[in-house]
């Protein structure tokens, strides 16, 4: 499908919406976007800093990035991998975002171990959040700016592990925070200031159960819903939505 024009001034960032036929098409589009973003960064400053998303939505994209079609286009030794959020579990736990990304992508593309910056969910949460913030500043500078931040969106409008009502949503001086998910697990998450400093923020959304939330955010005449996803407002970068047909089913068709 063709890119959908912006439905209005949702925020001040350049906005692009891509509606895909199905989850496979969405994964392929997202993988192509990842490759293009890496190419721009590597061509400009010789390294690509990306924050990966967890959950089910990006899983197929990660698999595709290991295929010959996509993998050869990326200089993996120059890629620095971070994470947008993590559950406070050991790295081999089935609920670990790191474990999923490692199994689907990171262990298959020859990425040097030192280029993988995981959140240490097995540590005491506040300590882990502090350590990750220090690592971000050490590797990316005092005001970190990712080349690409990948996000999913929950049916409740949460992104990363920033849930509705979380105190972390109003954090202005921390890069990472501790939050609590509906599953009862403590989580580590990037905060909005570092997400919104990215050069590109890509939000991947799949599933009919998220259609109503998307309409409140992207539908014609949508105003600030107050949901966490509506606070994703890149300061000077691009905001890109990649949606499957089910998630986009309640959005208005673009006019000709």
SS3 237: coil
Mean pLDDT of 219-231: 84
pLDDT tier at 223 (50, 70, 90 boundaries)? confident
Q: Quote the CA–CA distance of 18 and 233 in Å, as a whole number.
A: 18
Ordered domains of the chain (ranges, CATH): 17-243 (3.40.50.1360)
Instruction: Determine what percent of the chain is predicted with pLDDT higher than 90.
Output: 86
Mean pLDDT of 46-51: 97
Name which of 104, 38, 27, 51 is nearest 77 in CA terms: 38
Mean pLDDT of 116-140: 97
- State the DSSP H helix or E strand holding residue 190, giving kind and residue range, or none if neither: strand 186-190
Q: Quote the CA–CA distance of 55 and 225 in Å, as a whole number.
A: 23
Mean pLDDT of 36-41: 97
Mean pLDDT of 5-34: 79
pTM score of the predicted model: 0.92
DSSP string, 239-251: EEEEE-TTTTTTS
Q: Quote the CA–CA distance of 162 and 125 in Å, as a whole number.
A: 15
- Per-residue pLDDT of 182-207, as tens digits, reads 888 899 999 999 999 999 999 999 99
């Amino acid at each position: 499908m063709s890119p959908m024009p912006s439905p209005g001034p949702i925020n001040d960032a350049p906005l692009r919406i891509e509606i895909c036929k199905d989850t496979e098409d969405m994964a392929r589009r997202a993988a192509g976007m990842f490759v293009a973003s890496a190419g721009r960064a590597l061509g400009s400053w010789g390294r690509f800093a990306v924050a990966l998303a967890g959950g089910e939505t990006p899983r197929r994209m990660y698999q595709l990035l290991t295929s010959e079609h996509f993998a050869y286009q990326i200089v993996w030794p120059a890629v620095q991998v971070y994470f947008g959020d993590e559950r406070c579990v050991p790295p081999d736990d089935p609920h670990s975002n790191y474990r999923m990304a490692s199994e689907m992508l990171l262990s298959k593309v020859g990425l040097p171990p030192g280029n993988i910056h995981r959140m240490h969910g097995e540590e005491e949460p506040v300590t882990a959040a502090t350590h990750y913030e220090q690592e971000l500043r050490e590797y990316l500078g005092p005001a970190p700016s990712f080349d690409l931040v990948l996000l999913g969106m929950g049916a409740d409008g949460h992104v990363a592990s920033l849930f509705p009502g979380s105190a972390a949503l109003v954090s202005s001086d921390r890069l990472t925070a501790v939050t609590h998910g509906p599953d009862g697990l403590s989580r580590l998450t990037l905060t909005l200031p570092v997400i919104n400093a990215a050069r590109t923020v890509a939000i991947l959304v799949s599933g009919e159960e998220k259609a109503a939330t998307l309409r409140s955010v992207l539908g014609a005449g949508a105003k600030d819903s107050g949901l966490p996803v509506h606070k994703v407002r890149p300061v000077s970068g691009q905001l890109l939505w990649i949606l499957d047909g089910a998630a986009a089913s309640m959005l208005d068709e673009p006019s000709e």
